[in-house]
Amino acid sequence: MPDTALAAATTASNTSLRSFLHGLPGVDEVGARARAADLSTRSIKTSAKAQAIDLAIRMVDLTTLEGADTPGKVRALAGKAVHPDPADPSAPRVAAVCVYSDLVAVAVEALAGSGVGVASVATAFPSGRAPLEAKLVDTRRAVADGASEIDMVIDRGAFLAGDYLKVHEEIVAVKEACGSAHLKVILETGELATYDNVRRASWLAMRAGADFIKTSTGKVSPAATLPVTLVMLEAVRDFRAETGRQIGVKPAGGIRTTKDAIKNLVLVNEVAGEDWLDPEWFRLGASSLLNDLLMQRTKLTTGVYPGPDYYTLD
């Protein structure tokens, strides 16, 4: 894509955004599925597996996003984020704990000095259906309480209706409200209907200032499928080639096993490249992946699986 096309997309008009996004090359859906399936069959050596598991742990955004969340649950999760395996201090800490905005202050206090970030969902998560003013209040409150990362949802209704300008402007406004906090933009790919839309939404979010693009809220199925993550990894790769700016990727929702995590890491390496194989550029949003990573880690070290009650609940 010529630079002039990219420059034109910065003009804040729906016509220019539409022209840019619909001018992106179409996604070969069959090809994307086939490539993701092919890459997911790659096996890795035992020594590489140990490294991959530790990397995956360091990439986890340990998430609780339930209506029944309590300060006590968030404190327990924070403890687990810092010391995932109480019996093995060599187990690395996770990247961040991800909570609703009203629980940010609790997480920040519990994680003070730990190096684990606090991410907060915002902007009327998970639906995204609220006036922009309310979304900005939500964002500013989370940042004021100490969130270092904001996970915003896009307005899928506006996107699907072709109102790209509204989506663009909301992301720009939320980015500004974030201040120094990093902004992850959730596309909710399970509602975007086509892979072409996933590519368009990725570019729209990146153009508007996203630091990360994230697949899903975890509240809609399908969530983080490998072909969708592949399309988003292609987008960040191509965006960096065009602009020199590197954007992170966060698949989230339904990632529960070490196998799932390693398939994602293979995808990152093969599609975007090893520059993305770092928690700064790739995260795994998950509420119940960490225990499986810890179990597989212990199995590699000791040769036996720990019992089912060994780890605290995710």
Ligand X SMILES: O=C[C@H](O)COP(=O)(O)O
Interface of this chain with ligand X, residues 92 to 111, rule: CB under 6 A = 98
Could you tell me whether strands 149-153 and 96-99 are parallel, antiparallel, or unpaired per DSSP bridges? unpaired
Q: Which residues contact 188 (CB under 8 A, 6 or more apart)?
A: 126, 128, 153, 154, 156, 215, 216, 217, 220
Q: How far is the CB of 46 from ligand X (least distance, A)?
A: 27
Q: How far is the CB of 286 from ligand X (least distance, A)?
A: 4
Query: Is 151 tagged catalytic?
Result: yes
Catalytic residue among 214, 238, 260, 292: 214
Sign (positive or negative) of CA dihedral 101, 128, 215, 206? negative
Interface of this chain with ligand X, residues 157 to 196, rule: CB under 6 A = none
Query: Is 69 tagged catalytic?
Result: no
Catalytic residue among 85, 145, 151, 211: 151
Sheet arrangement for strand 149-153: 248-250, 212-214, 182-186, 149-153, 117-122, 96-99, 60-63, 284-286
Give Cα 285 to chain centroid, integer Å. Answer: 6
Interface of this chain with ligand X, residues 24 to 63, rule: CB under 6 A = 63
Q: Cβ distance 145 to 173 under 8 Å?
A: no
| Binding residue for ligand X, selected from 128, 190, 218, 248, defined by CB under 6 A | 218
Nearest-angstrom CA–CA distance, 118 and 89: 22
Q: Which stretch binds ligand X (CB under 6 A): 50-58, 104-112, 169-177, 248-256?
A: 248-256
Helix, coil or strand: residue 13: coil
| Binding residue for ligand X, selected from 286, 290, 293, 294, defined by CB under 6 A | 286
Q: Which stretch binds ligand X (CB under 6 A): 19-27, 35-43, 130-138, 283-291?
A: 283-291
Query: Is 80 tagged catalytic?
Result: no
What amino acid positions are annotated as catalytic residues? Answer: 151, 214, 250
Binding footprint of ligand X on the chain (CB under 6 A): 63, 65, 98, 217-218, 252-255, 285-288
